[in-house]
Amino acid sequence: MIERAGSVLESFLAASSEPDAKFREDLAADQIEKMAETALVETSRVDMDPAERATALLALCASVGVKLHSPNYMGHQVPPPIPAVAAAEALIAGMNQGLAVNELSPFASAMERVMIRRLRQVIGWTDAAVAGICTSGGTLANTTAILAARNRAFPKAWKHGITREERPVLMTSIDSHYSIARSMGVLGLGTENLVTIPVDDRRRMRVDRLESSINQQRDSGGQVFCVVASAPATPAGSIDDIDAIADVCERLGVWLHVDAVHGASFLFSEHLKSRMRGIHRADSVAWDAHKMLHVPSLCTFLLYRNLTDSFLAFENRASYLFDDDDQHRAVQDGAKRTFECTKRALAAPLWFVWALYGHQAFAEICERCVWLAEKLYSLLDESTDFQVPYVPDSNIVCFRYAPTVLPLDTMQLNDLQQRIRQQLLAERDFYLTQTTIDGQIFLRTTLINPLTEDRNLLNLLTAIRRIGGRALGGEPTTQRQSG
Ligand SMILES: Cc1ncc(COP(=O)(O)O)c(C=O)c1O
């Protein structure tokens, strides 16, 4: 059956890379739901050979899947995975190694520890400590780090909770991911105690405001227990100045967490790693391999500078699972340091592709994606009918179609971008997203497929001009050079 899955995947990948491939089928959500329901009803057909039936089911999945491997896919921060990893994934699913304790998953646990050590070294932490854990996604990694920071600042909180007088404050930029605010809510710290710092004209945190804001909070009775830097932030892909933020955090004794779920992978590249300058000064770093290292979801690492901090988040005893007094086993048994009990062999796909292709492959993928973003930026910047507000710090680019011949107000421009995106989605040639920044709607691309080429970028702009021109009741604008 695995062989059959392999050939279904091969056909899916071949179809995805055809030049005129649509990124998905023209089916509404309820039609797809019906297909999924119907397949269950048909299970009662006993006359079918199970292998044939399996092939049909796998082919059904593939036929309605979004084709992330299309060079015209420039959507979310979800990559087209390196195809070979599917082989490891199939084996992992089949073996179901339980990651709660080492004795249930000796090799899968070892892979996790080896990857933690390697990624910590890439950050610049050269001791061999297994100071980290794999967890189910960047959101949970951020929550876990904030929990550890809370427990360091408020050592009685695990048992007694936080009192009203304590007022735990977390500071982050206005562009930080929603998981930071969600963590404040989930952990009972209060979303109102998340204080946002404004951003500069490149949408990076205004570090010049950070120190005074922390002091202001302290003067009014707040206890600033954590600063979160974004590397990059989700909306426009801007990377905060981690080094400068670390200066402030060190001076004032505040836990620095770097949400580098997307950008930590740039550390593999000699060319890009300076964008993460100062990351080794953080107390904790969240890193999604399922973003820029092109392995499938989920594969997230939460890494700590110090081993002892990696035990701060959780304080449970469970004699049926782990030995509370054996420090050696505590490092090996994942459940002591993660929210999850049962956990998939999350590090295995990364270990597999790293061992198969070497880490240089990661550098090349990241460099290619950032190069594509810079190429798109220059195409947009050279044209007079697009606005591109931020030089990309990463492989995320925001822009909008705004032909200057027609003076449009903010509402009209916002409406135009939405109509363009809806039409692009309806045509199914290009997949991109949108975001609202300071009340303005932008089209948003994540250049995350290394197989995207210049011509795909040019074709995207042509399609936007055609759709935008029609939406404005005229002809598509042609590209005009500025100056
Ligand atoms: C900056 C940032 N942090 C956290 C997350 C959440 O990560 P995950 O989707 O792995 O939960 C994202 C997702 O895109 C992100 O961009």
All residues at 6 or more sequence positions from 224 whose CB lies less than 8 Å from its CB, including other chains:
169, 170, 171, 214, 217, 218, 252, 254
The residue among 386, 296, 304 whose CA lies nearest residue 345 is: 296
pLDDT of residue 207: 98
**Residue 476 reports pLDDT greater than 70:** no
What average pLDDT does range 295-312 have in this prediction? 96
Out of 179, 292, 435, give the residue to mutate to test ligand 1, the one with the largest number of ligand atoms within 8 Å of its CB. 179
User: Does residue 310's CB lie within 6 angstroms of at least one atom of ligand 1?
Assistant: no
CA atoms within 13 Å, Cβ hemisphere of 175:
26
Q: Whose CA is nearest to atom 14 of ligand 1?
A: 77
Q: Calculate the average pLDDT of the chain.
A: 93
Q: Ligand 1 mean position to 175 CA, how many Å?
A: 12
Q: Could you check whether the bond before residue 232 is cis, i.e. omega within 30 degrees of 0?
A: yes
User: Does residue 105's CB lie within 6 angstroms of at least one atom of ligand 1?
Assistant: no
Give dist(CA 142, CA 287) in Å, integer: 10
What average pLDDT does range 148-161 have in this prediction? 96
The total number of residues shown for the chain amounts to: 483
Token pair 């995350």 is at which residue?
A: 448
What DSSP element (H or E) covers 333? none
Residue 158 has phi, psi (to 5 degrees) of -60, -40
Q: Tell me: the pLDDT tens digits for 383-406?
A: 999 999 999 999 999 999 999 777
**Residue 461 reports pLDDT greater than 50:** yes
Q: Ligand 1 mean position to 142 CA, how many Å?
A: 9
Q: What would you measure as the largest C-alpha separation in the chain, in angstroms?
A: 76
Give dist(CA 483, CA 478) in Å, integer: 16
Helix, coil or strand: residue 112: helix
Which DSSP string corresponds to 378-444?
A: HHHHHBSSEE--S--SSSEEEEEE--TTS---HHHHHHHHHHHHHHHHHHTS-B-EEEEETTEEEEE
The atom of ligand 1 lying closest to the CA of 232 is 1
Q: Tell me: the pLDDT tens digits for 82-94?
A: 999 999 999 999 9
Of the pLDDT bands very low, low, confident and very high (cuts 50, 70, 90), residue 478 is: low
The atom of ligand 1 lying closest to the CA of 140 is 11
What average pLDDT does range 301-325 have in this prediction? 87
Sign of the alpha-carbon dihedral angle for 144, 146, 147, 148: positive
Q: Edge-to-edge strands of the sheet including 223-230? A: 132-135, 300-304, 284-288, 255-259, 223-230, 168-173, 194-197
Of the pLDDT bands very low, low, confident and very high (cuts 50, 70, 90), residue 480 is: very low
pLDDT of residue 303: 98
What average pLDDT does range 419-423 have in this prediction? 97
Q: Tell me: the pLDDT tens digits for 16-56?
A: 988 888 999 999 999 999 999 998 887 666 677 888 888 88
Token pair 């005009």 is at which residue?
A: 480
Burial class (CB in 10 A: 0-12, 13-18, 19+), 31: exposed
Give dist(CA 43, CA 32) in Å, integer: 17
Give dist(CA 205, CA 230) in Å, integer: 8
Q: Ligand 1 mean position to 138 CA, how many Å?
A: 5
pLDDT of residue 235: 95
User: Does residue 139's CB lie within 6 angstroms of at least one atom of ligand 1?
Assistant: yes
Of the pLDDT bands very low, low, confident and very high (cuts 50, 70, 90), residue 481 is: very low
In the chain the first and final C-alpha atoms are separated, in Å, by: 61
Helix, coil or strand: residue 322: coil
The residue among 18, 25, 16 whose CA lies nearest residue 425 is: 25
pLDDT of residue 334: 78
Q: Tell me: the pLDDT tens digits for 226-238?
A: 999 999 999 999 9
State how beta strands 223-230 and 168-173 pair: parallel
What average pLDDT does range 253-278 have in this prediction? 98
Helix, coil or strand: residue 24: coil
Token pair 């695990």 is at which residue?
A: 158
Q: Whose CA is nearest to atom 2 of ligand 1?
A: 177
Give dist(CA 298, CA 112) in Å, integer: 13
**Residue 451 reports pLDDT greater than 50:** yes
What average pLDDT does range 281-294 have in this prediction? 98
User: Does residue 144's CB lie within 6 angstroms of at least one atom of ligand 1?
Assistant: no
Angle among Cα 198, 241, 135 to the nearest 5 degrees reads 95
pTM over 0.85: yes
Type of residue numbered 307: L
Out of 135, 142, 143, 177, give the residue to mutate to test ligand 1, the one with the largest number of ligand atoms within 8 Å of its CB. 177
Q: Ligand 1 mean position to 182 CA, how many Å?
A: 12
Of the pLDDT bands very low, low, confident and very high (cuts 50, 70, 90), residue 483 is: very low
pLDDT of residue 44: 62
Q: Ligand 1 mean position to 296 CA, how many Å?
A: 14
Give dist(CA 182, CA 440) in Å, integer: 24
